[in-house]
């Protein structure tokens, strides 16, 4: 149980285009989903926290107009990188925290999306 999927797993796009990444909790409902960014050989940096039906909370330094987050349901959150540039190339990882109380302290992570902007 507690499986999180991400789609796509890898995407290559041209500079200036927008890319949407989906994060789904497959076998549980998630009150909260988190979006992280990981640079090579570095730790995960929290970008934003999304709650179903409300606006996302962005970490300091993260542009909310560039990284659009939509949390349409208890099982789906999307991250859209708008007008992508080469510096946006990174590994994006989402996680979900279950609605079920006894599991709610643990975040379950998706497999990540590798974005390469040319």
Partner 1 sequence: AQSVAQPEDQVNVAEGNPLTVKCTYSVSGNPYLFWYVQYPNRGLQFLLKYITGDNLVKGSYGFEAEFNKSQTSFHLKKPSALVSDSALYFCAVRDNGGSQGNLIFGKGTKLSVKP
Residues that bind partner 1 (CB under 8 A): 2, 4, 6, 32, 34, 42-44, 46, 49, 51, 57, 91, 93, 95, 97, 104-112, 114
**111 in helix, strand or coil?**
coil
Q: How far is CA 30 from CA 16, 34, 68, 111, 116, in A?
A: 32, 10, 19, 17, 28
* Of 14, 20, 38, 19, the residue nearest 95 (C-alpha): 38
| Nearest approach, Cβ of residue 66 and partner 1 (Å) | 20
CA count, 13 A, side-chain hemisphere, 100: 11
| Nearest approach, Cβ of residue 18 and partner 1 (Å) | 23
Q: Which is nearer to partner 1, 65 or 105 (CB)?
A: 105
Q: Which is nearer to partner 1, 15 or 104 (CB)?
A: 104
Q: Which is nearer to partner 1, 82 or 114 (CB)?
A: 114
């Amino acid at each position: 149980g507690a499986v999180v999927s991400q789609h796509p797993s890898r995407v290559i796009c041209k500079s200036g285009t927008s890319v949407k990444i989906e994060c789904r909790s497959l076998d549980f409902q998630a009150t909260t989903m988190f979006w992280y960014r990981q640079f090579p050989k570095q730790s995960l940096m929290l970008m934003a926290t999304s709650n179903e039906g409300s606006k996302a909370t962005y970490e300091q330094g993260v542009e909310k107009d560039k990284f659009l987050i939509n949390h349409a349901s208890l099982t789906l959150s999307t991250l859209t990188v708008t007008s992508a540039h080469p510096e946006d190339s990174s590994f994006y990882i989402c996680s979900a925290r279950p609605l079920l109380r006894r599991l709610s302290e643990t975040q379950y992570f998706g497999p990540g999306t590798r974005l390469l902007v040319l």
